[in-house]
Structure 1
Amino acid sequence: MQGFKDVPRTVWLLAAGVFVNAVVSCTFVFVFVYLTGPRGLGAAQAGLIVGIGGVGLVAGNFTGGWYGDRFGHRGVLLTASALGGAVLVVLPLLPTALLALALPLAQYASGVVRAANSALVAVTVPEGSRRQAFAVTRCLSNGGFTLGAPLGALIATGLSYDWLFVADGLGTLFFALWTAWVVPAGGAARPGETAHGSPPGRGGLWRELRTRPALLVLLGAIVVIDLVYRQHYTTFPVFLADHGLDTRAYGLLIAINGGVILLLEIPAALALRRCSPLHLIGTGLVLVGAGYAMLMLGVGMPAAVAMMVLLTLGEILYKTTATAYVADESPEHAVGRFQSLYAGVSVSGVVLAAPLGGALYDTAPDLLWPLCAVLGAAAGATVLVMGAPGARRRARPAHETGSRPRAVAG
């Protein structure tokens, strides 16, 4: 654990809160069933509400870091957690007509929390240790979800779906209180200033991004790979069912995904911390594409297991590394905005994956997995080219490198 010595105690405590919250934050898995079951909505109505909720989640990710740069990441995280938790707690009491407003609002708050949490970690941890820090938070988050999904199923079937939302809301409110306790507010940088007291640089976000061409390429590649990656939540279970593999088989594959992450996320971050981030990200994207290529070799559990293992190895390599890379590339006055931009593109598949993948699967099912494999390989190869020795990176001034720990924006 020597490589984790530079991960501050605050980050470990924050990750512990993320774990507890993740255990009870599994309602999104059951929302469609809840709407079409206890709430009595048709599939079209339920799908519309879920789709609007997905837009809310993406919008929250895109804006959470912007709020943090202006008002302080800690304060934004507390506010969004309190708002989202309150909405979820009262949601079972709301009339059905208000669900189209309440669920997207809760999802929007969840997206803000995700972006603000990433930005909070980024400004707390020095460059060189961010991969390890994000690996800790991602591993514990996945661990909580791995426990929470089956627990949520037991609560839904043994008690009621209403208790799922109450538990999720209480868990989110707990996370707000926990964050207020473990993340210090004193000595925080004032909104609109960098941690070292200097005014933010002039020029908008686009100007900052144009000086970082590798980052622009990475963001485009992440949009592509998230569209591919999220097929395992949308068309993949339909594909399994069409070939005689039921929900239990899909559940086993999802468990493999969570288990591999729990086993390898932190060791991989430690072992590969000195490797080029763009090389790791590019390799990860290629592995995600290679996972879907396994489905072209035949239908059955062996191919499905191979697909899930490769996909999981790919996400272990690219997700944590990309989050840390974006933080390392951020100017100090725009850490939140950069994290928010990455957070938004990294969940863009929530909106795009189901309609695009579903349409292709309906019209030309044999083309879906080859296309996913090609897109993954192309996205990965593009990032690898940007990370090649001949591709020169922009030299950054010392105050932008993040080599010193920064004050926590409050």
Structure 2
Amino acid sequence: MSGLVLLLGGAAQAQNPFITNQFTADPTARVFNGRVYVYPSHDILATPERGKVGWFCMEDYHVFSSANLTDWTDHGVIVTQNQVPWVKPDSYSMWAPDCIARNGKYYFYFPTTPRDTTINKGFTVGVAVADKPAGPFVPQPQPIKGVRGIDPNVLIDKDGQAYLYWSQGNIYAAKLKPNMLELASEPVTLGELPTKGLKEGPFVFERQGIYYLTYPHVENKTERLEYATSTSPLGPFTVKGVIMDESPTGCWTNHHSMLPFNNQWYLFYHHNDLSPAFDKSRSVRLDSLFFEPDGAIRKVVPTLRGVGLTDARQKIQLDRYSRLSSRGAAIAFLDPANPFQGWKTVLADNQGWVQYNGVAFGKQAPKTVMLRVQAATGATVQLRTDGATGPLLAQVTVPKGSQWQEVKAPVAAFKPGTHALVVSAKTSTPVEIDWVKFE
């Protein structure tokens, strides 16, 4: 099974998507007290009694955190639509949020449909406040006056002034009062952006004196991530380029955030990995981000492997591969009816191989390797490090059988450190692999 089985308060390992026990989207990532917290929206499937069938459906928010971007903890629900005084309790429109820290408090901004449409027709933005990054959060009794739209994002500038950004056809911005709950200026339209196609989801940050306004934009049929820069938080901005191209599988939306952590920048975004036939059920992802010397953002190519190292003594999910042979290998759901169970790697014959980078073997040699495998007529699998001609770690004989089984084999060679793991089939019969783990 790929990804993680997250229990409330528990931790597990993951690649991309890095949350696999529920649908998540619109991830805003922040560093609080040396730990990364991700505040996504939470997609659920609509029914005739719950939301609008065939459309986005979200009723609450979770928060997740990690100290290493590999092991994630689900801290549970922090805000629910029917527990916010001003929210229409059956709106199912708790869309993309943000969270920011100031003066020992944590301010969680979220958009949704108000109960009283005389306050605001359409979406507006509210705030919930907590003493800790994971809550408990207490919603304010009313939304922010003067804000109509979705996708709130907050920047606290170097001089201490806070700004709120949001979208509703255009992208808007205004200063916030020191209490972080009210506008301190009239909203302005950031009008230097493309006029063709939907723009939404602003995320603004400052780096080396440059203010980056990043946003999803529908240039053609689906959203791609773009950015513009300025010398001021309110612009004027100059459009610079594309951060991430449109989804190759046609996922209509993308929504993102960026942050530096341990001297590396990262891009958080979403895709519909766990729901390839329905792009309103999305899953959050994470990849490294790089800047050119002139401050330009290098385009990010999405990966399944994601970031971070994988401990060789944990389950290595080969289906989140770094490389896959063009012949004889494929990835499939373990159970198409339950995508949260994750994926498997299918090696059809001796042309099939899969490579998984960044496996941390440490200094002490493992004695055995265990594979969760299935091969109807039996098979032989080889494991190597650092390429198809690298040292042979182990050769595993998979007994024939129609059920999943855990098979062990001795480790024949060992090189300490971090390596790429290559798993290949050595027989012409198909073999399916769920995970690999060294012991």
Greater RCO between the two (CA within 8 Å, min separation 6)? 1
Q: Shorter-chain TM-score: which interval? A: under 0.3
Greater fraction of residues in strand: 2
Greater fraction of residues in helix: 1
Q: Highest CA radius of gyration, 1 or 2?
A: 2
